[in-house]
């Protein structure tokens, strides 16, 4: 029913929702950002069709978000950038999360058929 490109996008979305809601709320400070980045990337890369995950937690934003004496904050989308690459049946979907108007926006960057576009390619029918 769904095309391979649609399936690739569905898989890409699953990974983003998983990463965000598994790890949002994790206690984080500038001294623990590297280990959290690594765990987030490696855990989500376990999921099917997920070829690469890159997580950058910004130490300066974490430091700015620490507003009480305890010296840590909780991970939220505003503290990090995420990029992912999903491969599904010859389709590559690239996605990212970054701040847009103060809101962490998850977005599809591109969906490409690794065999290259064709006149009747479902990912761009009118090309």
Q: Which is nearer to its own copies, 80 or 93 (CB)?
A: 93
Q: Which is nearer to its own copies, 85 or 95 (CB)?
A: 95
C-alpha atoms less than 13 angstroms from C-alpha of 97 in its C-beta half-sphere: 24
Using CB under 8 A as the binding rule, whether residue 11 contacts its own copies is answered as yes
Binding mask 93-122 for its own copies (x = CB under 8 A): x-x-----xxx--x-xxxx--------xxx
Pairing, β 80-88 against β 50-57 = antiparallel
DSSP 77-100: GGGEEEEEEEEETTEEEEEEEEEE
Using CB under 8 A as the binding rule, whether residue 56 contacts its own copies is answered as no
DSSP class of residue 68 equals: S
Minimum Å gap between C-beta 19 and its own copies is 8
């Amino acid at each position: 029913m769904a095309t391979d490109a649609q399936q690739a996008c569905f898989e890409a979305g699953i990974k983003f929702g998983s990463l965000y809601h598994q790890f949002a709320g994790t206690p984080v400070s500038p001294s623990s950002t590297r280990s959290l980045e690594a765990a987030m990337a490696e855990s989500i890369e376990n999921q099917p069709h997920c070829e690469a995950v890159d997580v950058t937690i910004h130490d300066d934003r974490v430091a700015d978000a620490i507003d009480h004496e305890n010296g840590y904050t909780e991970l939220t989308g505003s503290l990090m950038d995420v990029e992912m690459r999903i491969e599904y049946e010859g389709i590559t979907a690239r996605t990212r999360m970054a701040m847009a108007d103060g809101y962490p926006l998850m977005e599809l960057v591109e969906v490409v058929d690794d065999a290259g576009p064709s006149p009747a390619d479902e990912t761009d029918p009118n090309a």
